[in-house]
Amino acid sequence: MHDKKFFDKLSLDKGSMVTMDRAYNFYKQFAEWTEESVFFVTRQKTNAKSEVLKTLYESPQADKENRKKACVLKEEHIHPTYKDSKNLKPLCLRRVTYRDEKGRLYLIYYE
């Protein structure tokens, strides 16, 4: 069963935490969870677009000299948009850019 159909059948309590892989980026569902105080974490798709409203944190370890150190490089307040009926709406999320010990970068959404 596709994720979109599966999540429609879930009944999540306020304060629940949902984690998903990068294949699931359904912003309308994220907006509904946010309104219901359900938290989530997922990786950002490579083609995702969003407006950066504010950089909340930026690491001084972002230079090449430290690229093998695992760390959070940046935390941002972002607004991707989604369609609700025929209207585009912004979704308030946080995005974390993380580098692992092998130098791989990950972009993660959460709320």
pLDDT at 77: 97
> Is the distance from CB of 4 to CB of 29 less than 8 angstroms?
yes
Residues 10-20: what's their mean pLDDT?
A: 90
Domain extent, residue 43, equals 3-110
pLDDT tens-digit profile of 24-41? 778 888 899 999 999 999
**Nearest residue to 71 via CA among 104, 44, 100, 108:** 100
Work out how many domains the chain is built from and give that number. 1
* pLDDT of 84 higher than 90: no
Q: What is the pLDDT confidence band of residue 64, given thresholds at 50, 70 and 90?
A: low
Q: Which residue has the higher pLDDT, 68 or 10?
A: 10
Q: Which residue has the higher pLDDT, 98 or 20?
A: 98
DSSP track, 19-44: EE-TT---HHHHHHHHHTT-EEEEEP
